[in-house]
Amino acid sequence: MASLVPGDDLSSAELIRQFQFTRILNHDTRSKSINILGTIGSTPAILIAEKTAFTAHDEAAMAKLPTVDSGISSVRLLERNDIYRWYMATLVQDVETSPGAKLSLIWPATQTHIDKYAKQRRRVIRETPELYRNVLVPYIDKMRGDRIQWVYNILSHKSEADRIVYENPDPREGFILLPDLKWDRTTMDSIYLVAIVHRRDIASIRDLNKSQIPWLKSIYSELIQATTQAYPAISATQLRIYVHYLPSYYHFHVHVTNVEHDAGEGAAVGKAIMLSDLIARLEEMSDQFYGFANSTFTFLLGENSDLWTNGYARALDIV
């Protein structure tokens, strides 16, 4: 068979079948996920597999779960103690109604992707305004442009237009809201959306100042309205609306999840900041154009990151 290259027009299923295992990058027993490095053709690829959650909102489907044939295909007793019994079981699965796993494929994968999805130790960084200007700003300049072309493709409707939940098309005030690829788009308890703003002058929260408070408040209220209208089973008080610092890509975006969803590291201290809290901090600032570029933030950073190796480790003189 001819060697595959990234430009080949292959179905998603065919790409998965062509994946050749190289090694395990990382795995998480809490989230039941695994990151695998491999190749498709001769090009590096990363396959991320995550066990799906039960569709607890679908009572009819859950009623079938304990039944043999409809829900449980085989079962084996592990242990029994008085009234308690533990089993291993395999479940009846269907890719449309009860899939066993959600897959994400990155192809072609760069060394940056490989480092990101590999197991790594974390460091606590207390980023002063000076560190931000001297270390992060040059890094952001490298990570924008072609590196986030996929974001611009979404904003211009070249990609993922069929997944858009809501859009405010205003080039300065607007955003596109769509499901994050971490969500299976079925389980309401794990709902996960992301809002990507149309304007391109905001790379991260560092570019925010008091003059943008009305815009941020508008985004906040619009996100609540759009999400609750699109998914009536979710109320405003069930939504966690937050941003990441550091973000995974440098174009301002906001995360929207169900509070019941365990987003793991993505919603943890040292990563997630509630949008309402950011607005409150800006309101407390005295100068109209004073902003987060002059603030100090503390966050976690993986040692595999080039930002750590060639940035903060050198700046902080850490070997």
Task: Please give the pLDDT value at position 73.
Answer: 82
Q: Are residues 85 and 105 in the same domain?
A: no
The reply to whether 46 and 194 lie within a common domain is: no
Indicate if 179 and 294 belong to the same structural domain. yes
* In a domain? residue 115: no
Does one domain contain both 224 and 89?
A: no
Q: Is residue 135 part of a domain?
A: yes
Q: Please indicate, yes or no, if residue 173 is contained in any of the structural domains.
A: yes
Q: What is the pLDDT of residue 169?
A: 97
Residues of the domain holding 250: 120-315
Q: What pLDDT score does 218 carry?
A: 98
Of 110, 131, 153, the position where a domain reaches its end is 110
Residues 47 and 72 in one domain: no
Which pLDDT does position 3 carry in this prediction? 52
**Which residues are tagged catalytic?**
253
Count of domains observed in the chain? 3
* 156 and 225 co-located in one domain: yes
Q: Output the CA–CA distances (angstroms, integers) from residue 90 to 69, 72, 102, in the order listed.
A: 11, 6, 17
| pLDDT attached to residue 1 | 40
Residue 90 lies in a domain: yes
Q: Domain holding 36: CATH number?
A: 3.30.200.40
pLDDT at 9: 52
Residues of the chain with pLDDT under 70: 1-11, 56-58, 68-70, 288-289, 319
Residue 135: predicted pLDDT: 97
Report the pLDDT value the prediction gives residue 221, as an integer from 0 to 100: 98
Same domain, yes or no: 135 and 19? no
Do 304 and 171 have their domain in common?
A: yes
Predicted pLDDT of residue 69: 65
Q: How far apart are the first and last CA of the chain?
A: 47
pLDDT, one tens digit per residue, over 36-57 is 999 999 999 999 998 887 776 6
Specify the amino acid at residue 283.
Answer: E
Residue 304: phi, psi to the nearest 5?
-75, -15
The distance from CA 101 to its chain's CA centroid, rounded to whole angstroms, is 17
pTM of the model: 0.80
- Indicate if 148 and 261 belong to the same structural domain: yes
Q: Write down the pLDDT at residue 8.
A: 54
Domain identity same for 128 and 94: no
- Identify whether residues 134 and 215 lie together within a single domain: yes
261 plus 152 within the same structural domain = yes
pLDDT at 56: 67
Q: What pLDDT is attached to residue 68?
A: 62
Nearest to 204 by CA among 251, 147, 248, 272: 251
